[in-house]
Structure 1
Amino acid sequence: MLSRRAYLKTLTAAGGLAACGLPVMAADPNRLWEKGVVASVQPVATQAGVAALARGGNAVDAAIAAAVTLGIVDQHNSGIGGGCFILIRRANGQLLAIDGRETAPARASRDMYLRDGKPQPELSQTGALAVGTPGAIAAYDLALQHAGKLMLADIFRPAAEVAEKGFAVDTNFARKLKSTAAKLAQFLGSAKALLKPDGSAYDAGEVLKQPDLAATYRNIAERGPDWFYRGEFAEKVAAWMKDNGGLLTAEDFAAYKPIRREPLQTKYRQCQIIGFPPPSSGGVHVAQMLNMLESFDLTLLASKKDGTFEHLLAEVMNLAFADRAYWLGDPSFAQVPRGLIDAEYARTLAAKIDLSKATAVPSYGRPPRATENIFSGKEYDPAESKHTTHIAAADAEGNWVAITQTVNTTFGSKVIVPGTGVVLNNEMDDFSISPGQPNAFGLIGAEANAVAPGKRPLSSMSPTIVLRDGQPILAVGAAGGPTIITQVLQVLLRVLDLQQPLDTAVAAPRVHHQWRPDELRVEKSLAPAICKSLEERGHKLAQTDGIGVCQAVGLEPGSKKLIGVHDPRVPGSAAGL
């Protein structure tokens, strides 16, 4: 495994960071920035964001520059063949929530993954039938139009240089390539773009060049999103789908539109929590769990270091994920009750918690007004009212951004249409392909998240911004399937309740419960005494090396300076001006 210094050296030699036009800066979670800061899972992407700031861009431009570059250097997690949620707090106080989630093809059907009446999960995870209409580029463009200073071309051109000159494969990328090489080799375009001529995977430190992806990026820079959605790219994908049993058509691309949704705003302690509404389940359930926890003295419970704090977290997670499985879906197709974030409903759920033992949760709860006052599926008009990755950014003007984006599982559907260089998502697996059938993350769903034409699959992506006295103090999000929700929750609690520094909060050991399977995942770094206490309370523990990957930016207490933090579980980066 490469040391961090050796890895940064190979990046520079490959033209990675240098291609962004800035010197290499070592990530320093304690360094403060005055003009702006960006945190991402990959140093090349972070530096692309910093370069955007240096060219006169704001935090929105920086975050999107990092996001676009991640589609090259972190391609197993996200890219323009996938989707995203973008949450923005502008300098003037305006809040924007832009839904760039993928959509099911017009020819999709509820039972499309059943064969002889039995679900076939592989069809929703690999190959042509797994792909939904990508939404990332449309969402980036809409965000730049509303809140950026730079043009889409200003961001895609420098990224094209990174793809063309190549970048040093990091240890995470190399590991993911090796784990999926056999499936990637099934598709000619994927094998050509991502594997060596002999079919083997690139090792860490080796340089991967992607000329087809560079050409795609340049076409987007020169011709705009229409080239992708109504031009040559859409036509190439449609032709490949027709020849390979897929449903996605050029008409699906042309019909795609990002949706500007009403941000989900709730209160916790003395802060305002800005989350993303459905089809994100994250905003709803982070708010729901915070509501349940508000009546507990978390500082006291955590200070005991006897497992009570972690037990309480597990119990609220269990209750929230039971509700997620039944109630959550695309609000244009399913009734998603606002009662899920009702304070009284939270108190009812919290009353079920026994701090001395684990309590079984046999089914979902029933929130008040379950069939009314639903989250609207209509576009918001302010005049009227592990796999995946996260980027956080902020600037001195007061723009704060949280972007979570994904192609779903590692390298998505494993499909790259020859000549495009673009990894296509397998987001169709985020639908409930059959009642009770777990998806790739072990999540189950109900009718609210069934497949339907044009529908957006339920997501765990949870970009979150926190305000205190109307001013932003934190932007956070994560990667890792359903653990995204619980990661964000734990960082919020550690910062807001336990008063931990942001880097400490991000690095702290995590736990995760998602109702089904009925087990509590814990990181191996969690103290043995706490693990023993959790088992004594009745939790079935599943130990793991790490639970997800989180990025955050925050306001340094007592100053106007900015701090960026990347998750130490992977070699990410935080840097700024």
Structure 2
Amino acid sequence: MKNGLLVVFVLSGFLCASVTAVTDTGQMPSLAKPASDYASVSADSKVAVATVSPYATQIAMDVVARGGNALDAAIAATFALGVVDGHNSGIGGGCFILVRLADGRVLAIDGREMAPAAATRDMFLVNGKADPELSRTGALAVGVPGSVLALDKLRQLGAVLRWRDLILPSAELADKGFVVSRSLAERLAATAPDLAKFLASAAIYLDDKQQPWDAGNTLKQADLAATYRAIAKQGAAYFYQGDFARKTERWMQLNGGLITRKDFSNYQIKMRKPVVSEFAGFTLYGFPPPSSGGTHVAQILNILEQFDLTKMTTSERYHLIAEAMKFAFADRAHWLGDADFTRIPAGLTDKNYARSIAQKISLEKTTTDIRYGNPEADIQHLMNKHTTHIAAADLQGNWVAITSTVNTSFGSKVVIPGTGVVLNNQMDDFSAQVGAANAFGLVGSDANAIAARKRPLSSMSPTLVFKGNQPVMTLGAAGGPTIISQVVQTLLYSLHDGMPVAEAMAQPRIHQQWNPNMLFVEAAMQTDIQQALKQKGHDLKVWPSMGASQAIEWRDGKLIPVAEPRVIKQNSEK
């Protein structure tokens, strides 16, 4: 493997302005040396951004320095993450966008991937049994991407800069290259055998000896830069009706895939009605199906609200959170899917329903009378920080929450030759077969069965929080089904307990998703609390670190962006 200079990102503080001159061509020479900030506020304190990468945050803040607002910053950051965080997200995947515009409207833009028209219910069955390899790697695993069209819609709703101004800086970054982080190097090493199966993927992510790039090397992506420039010049039409769609169709025909140019041209974003709920005196806006996030964040918080949390010990509270998660994920497996194809009960977020669940929960022991299956689960996939989240806000009243993904690491592992674009493996998020687990150990029912032009269920949970009519927080996370758990716990500690978001985000996390019936706890949790949870009947699985959240809160008259401390720590320990 290649060796190179190891670059250390040192967090110098959450509130640090980063302003770099950008030419009209989008060139940004300073990106050869990224800023150290994952979360940043503009020099005039009017715009804040938080992402999982200093490169993406810097590009967003440079766009702000050119006159952009929170929408501009969020779009620019999302394209940048497609370059530096391509194992988690990118234009070959999909996204959910929750936005509160300056005029007061709250909108949910569904850019989720869509099954091709030729998709069938049993397309991943071999001899009557679901074959996970077919839904996770290669041509059949790919859904029609939605991110480009969703981002373009967000731009039309209130961004002030030109489309090209938001994309060209990331094209320049792809051309010049960026330093491979430790987390990216680890993901490359883990997925190298599958990346090697596809020539265009191997040409980018592996060296001439078919070995993954080490941390510290510079990764350049000339083809992706060219694709970005074509989108900047021709708009979303290049992706959905132009050369990109043609190249994808050609590759699919040669490799047993189903996606056609017509699938691309028929793709549409959906404008959804947000899930609205109340908790601790705040109003929460979440994303509706095909996201399960808005529904089950609200459901879990509704259940917790039935108890006097202030009188509980720490272990009792963790126990209660775990039990509430268990009930919610059991409902998720049975009821949730694409609302255009299946009826989703509105009562899932009703407080009366939460009260009925609360009556089944004992504070002394785990609940055992929830019906569930127990298929094998890929725990490593479950806990990897798949997906990415972007938070942006400005003093004009624009608040943005974007969760973007290609699903598992490097999605389908397919890069369409000549494009540099990693395609998703979102077809794995359907229920290939009732009771069969996907890569995250999640099971589903016929509500999430594969169908032509249907969108698979997701755990992505972009969330906006209001006090009265005023937005006070934008929040979201990465990490498969742990996204729901992370968002719930940050909201609980910040809204109910009054913690600053940075402190709330740093608390030891837990995750319980009903199947597998196992309580994941972070190693940072005190051992006496772990023992207390075991005594209540929980089957504990200790995990080093769980998830990656991004948020911005309005506190003490200021926008305060917060990036995931676990990610910052991981990339600083080199």
TM exceeds 0.5? yes
Contact 2:39 2:48 in 1 (8 A): no
Using CA pairs under 8 Å that are at least 6 residues apart, name the structure with larger relative contact order, 1 or 2.
1
| 2:226 maps to amino acid | A
Whole-Å separation in 2 of the counterparts to 1:262 and 1:218: 33
Aligned to 1:531: 530
| 2:140 maps to amino acid | L
Secondary structure of 1:393's partner? strand
| 1:75 maps to amino acid | G
Match of 2:353 among 337, 345, 368: 345
TM-align CA RMSD = 2.2
Aligned to 1:332: 340
Deviation of 1:499 after TM superposition, in Å, equals 1.1
Secondary structure of 2:565's partner? coil
Whole-Å separation in 1 of the counterparts to 2:31 and 2:520: 42
Contact 2:41 2:48 in 1 (8 A): no
| 2:147 maps to amino acid | A
Secondary structure of 2:300's partner? helix
Q: Deviations over 1:548-575 (max 9, x none)?
A: 111111112x32x1111111111399xx
Aligned to 2:472: 473
The normalised TM-score by structure 1 is 0.91
| 2:440 maps to amino acid | F
Aligned to 1:252: 263
Aligned to 1:263: 274
Q: Is residue 15 of structure 2 the alignment partner of residue 4 of structure 1? A: no
Whole-Å separation in 1 of the counterparts to 2:344 and 2:479: 24
Which is worse superposed, 194-203 or 92-101? Answer: 194-203
Deviation of 1:363 after TM superposition, in Å, equals 3.0
Secondary structure of 1:398's partner? coil
Secondary structure of 1:403's partner? strand
Contact 1:17 1:44 in 2 (8 A): no
Q: How does 1:7-22 map to 2 (within 5 A)?
A: 18-19=28-29
Q: Is residue 145 of structure 2 the alignment partner of residue 134 of structure 1? A: yes
Match of 2:325 among 306, 310, 317: 317
Match of 2:173 among 144, 155, 162: 162
| 1:343 maps to amino acid | K
Secondary structure of 2:160's partner? coil
Whole-Å separation in 2 of the counterparts to 1:194 and 1:21: 20
Secondary structure of 2:284's partner? strand
Q: Deviations over 1:494-546 (max 9, x none)?
A: 10111111111111110000000111000000111110000000000001011
| 2:8 maps to amino acid | S
Whole-Å separation in 2 of the counterparts to 1:40 and 1:31: 12
Aligned to 1:540: 539
Whole-Å separation in 2 of the counterparts to 1:504 and 1:30: 17
Calculate percent identity across the aligned residue pairs.
53
Deviation of 1:300 after TM superposition, in Å, equals 3.0
Deviation of 1:49 after TM superposition, in Å, equals 1.0
Secondary structure of 2:474's partner? strand
Aligned to 1:387: 386
Contact 1:430 1:457 in 2 (8 A): yes
Secondary structure of 1:569's partner? helix
Residues 290/7 of structure 1: CA separation in 2 closer, same or farther (3 Å cut): closer
Deviation of 1:57 after TM superposition, in Å, equals 1.1
Secondary structure of 1:472's partner? strand
Whole-Å separation in 1 of the counterparts to 2:202 and 2:33: 33
Aligned to 2:566: 569
Which is worse superposed, 167-176 or 128-137? Answer: 167-176
Residues 572/448 of structure 1: CA separation in 2 closer, same or farther (3 Å cut): farther
| 1:436 maps to amino acid | G
Secondary structure of 1:274's partner? strand
Deviation of 1:298 after TM superposition, in Å, equals 2.1
Match of 1:71 among 82, 86, 96: 82
Aligned to 1:374: none
Whole-Å separation in 2 of the counterparts to 1:549 and 1:503: 13
Residues 235/29 of structure 1: CA separation in 2 closer, same or farther (3 Å cut): closer
Secondary structure of 1:416's partner? coil
Q: Is residue 61 of structure 2 the alignment partner of residue 50 of structure 1? A: yes
Q: Deviations over 1:65-84 (max 9, x none)?
A: 11110000000000000000
Contact 1:17 1:24 in 2 (8 A): no
Aligned to 1:359: 367
Residues 324/338 of structure 1: CA separation in 2 closer, same or farther (3 Å cut): same
Whole-Å separation in 2 of the counterparts to 1:426 and 1:343: 36
Whole-Å separation in 1 of the counterparts to 2:126 and 2:524: 43
Gaps of 5+ in 1: 365-385
Match of 2:225 among 207, 214, 226: 214
Deviation of 1:265 after TM superposition, in Å, equals 1.1
Whole-Å separation in 2 of the counterparts to 1:293 and 1:543: 23
Match of 2:154 among 143, 153, 163: 143
Contact 1:104 1:132 in 2 (8 A): yes
The normalised TM-score by structure 2 is 0.91
Aligned to 1:377: none
| 1:571 maps to amino acid | I
Q: Deviations over 1:193-215 (max 9, x none)?
A: 22112211111111011000000
Q: How does 1:73-88 map to 2 (within 5 A)?
A: 73-88=84-99
Contact 2:9 2:36 in 1 (8 A): no
Contact 2:38 2:563 in 1 (8 A): no
Aligned to 2:496: 497
Runs of 4+ in 1 over 6 A off after TM superposition: 20-23, 28-33
